Amino acid sequence: MSSTSHSALPQALASEGLPAHVEVRPLRHPGPTNTEPKAVRIAIITLALAFLALCIALPVVSVFYEAFKRGWLAYVTALAEPDALSAIRLTLLVAAISVIANVTFGLIAAWAIAKFEFPGRSLLITLIDLPFSVSPVVAGLVYVLLFGSQGLFAAYLQAWDIKIIFALPGIVLATLFVTFPFVARELIPLMQEQGTAEEEAAVSLGASGLSTFFRVTLPNVKWALLYGVLLCNARAMGEFGAVSVVSGHVRGLTNTMPLHIEILYNEYQFVASFAVASLLALLALVTLVAKTLLEARLAEDAS
């Protein structure tokens, strides 16, 4: 059996991608032996909903409330400001680069890991997941230690007049680091479960490796790929800690949207700050809706 040590699998995949022999019990509403008294049930539901409303829903609502506090005009003015626009442009650019890089890497890595057996495979999966457990600040710092003015490569960079830290390359690298596992980890477990039978059939019928990949493998994983892209994009656009360390915070040049939010907030320009934040919050909500819709498709692919 494939070792799916990927715990943060989409929950739909984990709960619905059951082996076929596990029959799904129709008894969804268990009898009295199997549930709690009505009062307890109501208390638990109330407690759960109150907790979620206070801790999760309220912050999101407040973002939009604060953004529109002074009306539409103030909102639009804040977003049309040149520094805000340049932050939006930079964020879109960085996210696009990360998504393209991670899709390419994710597909290549998943092909090697899922379609072949080799020693050290589970170690490789662990290493791909590593960026998830590293603090964003540490993720930014390691690039400063490599490419900063006191970094390991400082002499070479100076000689060739290349600027990485406090410039676009540094921001891209830090974002690549924190988004590194997103696409690969969605693809690897799914491609492992799908096995190699279809690819073997295609190859033995004379298809080349590339056309096997594009005609057989890719259509089988397209929803998981899209799912990974969604999560990767959301994280790339929203990354704060890692980017903050390498950016240098130059207004209009190296400020991404999250960094611009911080600057405005610290300058007490709350409406403007929340206006930019509301764009990212909207992105988060759209991502969640798309993710929920995709999970149904994903469950189909896995079965």
200 touching other proteins, by CB under 8 A: yes
Contact stretch for other proteins (CB under 8 A) within 76-84, 127-135, 155-163, 218-226: 127-135
Give the residue with the Cβ less far from other proteins, 195 or 219: 195
Assess contact for 253 and 151: CB atoms under 8 A.
no
Query: Pick from 80, 85, 127, 162: which binds other proteins (CB under 8 A)?
Result: 127
CA dihedral sign of residues 291, 292, 296, 299? positive
211 touching other proteins, by CB under 8 A: no
Site for other proteins in 61-80 (CB under 8 A): 62-63, 66
Site for other proteins in 31-60 (CB under 8 A): 31, 33-37, 41, 44-45, 47-49, 51-52, 54-60
Query: Pick from 68, 151, 220, 253: which binds other proteins (CB under 8 A)?
Result: 151
Q: At closest approach, how far in Å is the CB of 230 from other proteins?
A: 9
Site for other proteins in 170-199 (CB under 8 A): 173, 176-177, 180, 192-197, 199
Q: Which residues contact 301 (CB under 8 A, 6 or more apart)?
A: 190, 194, 220, 221, 223, 224
Q: Which two tokens stand for residue 96?
A: 């696009």
Which residue do the tokens 């990485």 mark? 164
- R_g of the chain, CA atoms, integer Å: 23
Query: Pick from 97, 241, 269, 297: which binds other proteins (CB under 8 A)?
Result: 241
Distance between CA atoms of 186 and 10, rounded to whole angstroms?
Answer: 8
Site for other proteins in 269-298 (CB under 8 A): 270, 273-274, 277, 280-281, 284-285, 287-289, 291-292
168 touching other proteins, by CB under 8 A: no
100 touching other proteins, by CB under 8 A: no
14 touching other proteins, by CB under 8 A: yes
Contact stretch for other proteins (CB under 8 A) within 75-83, 155-163, 221-229, 240-248: 240-248
Query: Pick from 39, 73, 150, 159: which binds other proteins (CB under 8 A)?
Result: 150
Q: At closest approach, how far in Å is the CB of 72 from other proteins?
A: 20
Using a 10 angstrom Cβ sphere, with 0-12 exposed, 13-18 middle and 19 or more buried, the burial of residue 232 is buried
267 touching other proteins, by CB under 8 A: no
162 touching other proteins, by CB under 8 A: no
Give the residue with the Cβ less far from other proteins, 102 or 223: 102
Give the residue with the Cβ less far from other proteins, 134 or 253: 134
Q: At closest approach, how far in Å is the CB of 119 from other proteins?
A: 10
Assess contact for 92 and 175: CB atoms under 8 A.
no
Give the residue with the Cβ less far from other proteins, 76 or 138: 138
Q: Which two tokens stand for residue 85?
A: 């626009």
Distance between CA atoms of 154 and 159, rounded to whole angstroms?
Answer: 9
